[in-house]
Amino acid sequence: MSDFDHVILRDLKTDEYEHSLDRTTLDVLRKIPILPKLVELVQLPTSMTSRYAMLGSDLRVTDRQFPSLYKIFRKACEVMEVPEPLFYISTAPELNAYTACPDKPIVKMYSYLLDILEEDEIMFVIGHELSHIKCRHLVYTVLGELISTGVLRVIISTIPGMGALYTPAEISLNYAFYQWMRASEYTCDRGGFLACQNFEASCRALMKLAGYSKTYANELNLDEFFEQAKAFDDLNETALGKIQQILLSFGLTHPWAVLRVRELMKFKDGGDYDRILKREMQLAKLPEPLSPNEEVGVSSGLAAALPKDLKFKNPFKK
């Protein structure tokens, strides 16, 4: 992890870094008539199974289990002002991390991903997952899991009057959900960048998700990946490029890594990242509020000798 003091993002509101597509696609999703009932359904303790499975099969990270990793995790929670969720590591050979359980969140990372990332890159991934918690994405994420596995269809069919309503709404629900799911990743990439506060590390983590080889790891070139992102952006501006992206991304829960890096570049180059950090740094420099005695210049020694309920009034203060 970089040897500098991370800026703590006190009172950071999610709409300060929320991607515009995240906001608009979620609004569309919320307008689907069947959604309120589905969200109500997801609020049931369906996450109990996930918690039980992780506790039994994965390794929980604590201050005594992988303490160095826990230190990175704890720092990310502190920077983003997110209460510490449970943190698990799995040995499954996947380049992945995810957050589960809306009622009591759990962050899970796969050891294969951990082993190819440097500390700042790990903090980016953890910050990304914490943003899903901070932005309250988890209820909708669980809903998506139920949709993709077909579990939701089975559940809905058991509710009187809901089966007939679900069938015509299924296509629009699927399309709207996956649109939002991909857009929410842009928001959380921004959250990961805000957590680690290292732009190159954030982009390197995404580059490694696009393609990685242990044999040739020393030949990874981030500048070349930036050029690839710009080239894709130029192609994507054409009508054919837009159509291809819609067709090829349908049903994907995550945007392509090249797109994610390009959106992160826009967040930085547009000045939004710097505005958030500068605001926090200015707040940190503000002096502590003065006590009533200090306002009128009473020394700390004299103030201590005076009765506690005695206060001086500043004659020049209206």
| Extents of the domains making up the chain | 14-211+221-283
Q: What is the pLDDT of residues 133-145, one digit of tens each?
A: 999 998 888 777 7
At 251-286, the pLDDT tens digits run 788 899 999 999 999 999 999 999 999 876 666 555
This prediction has a pTM of 0.82
Q: Would you say residue 153 has pLDDT above 50?
A: yes
| Per-residue confidence (pLDDT) for residue 48, from 0 to 100 | 80
The conformation of residue 63, written as its DSSP 8-state character, comes to: S
Mean pLDDT of 186-205: 98
Nearest to 1 by CA among 133, 129, 117: 117
Q: Greater confidence, 144 or 104? A: 104
Q: What is the chain's Cα-based Rg? A: 24
Burial degree of 128 (CB within 10 A; 0-12, 13-18, 19+): buried
pLDDT (tens digit, 9 = 90+) per residue, 161-190? 655 555 656 667 777 888 899 999 999 999
Condensed to tens digits (0 to 9), the pLDDT of residues 46-86 reads 678 888 899 999 999 999 999 999 999 999 999 999 999 99
**pLDDT at site 168:** 59
DSSP assignment of 237-270, as one string? TSHHHHHHHHHHHTT-SS--HHHHHHHHHHHHHT
Please tell me the number of Cα atoms within 13 Å of 173 on its side-chain side.
23
What is the pLDDT, as a whole number, of residue 219?
96
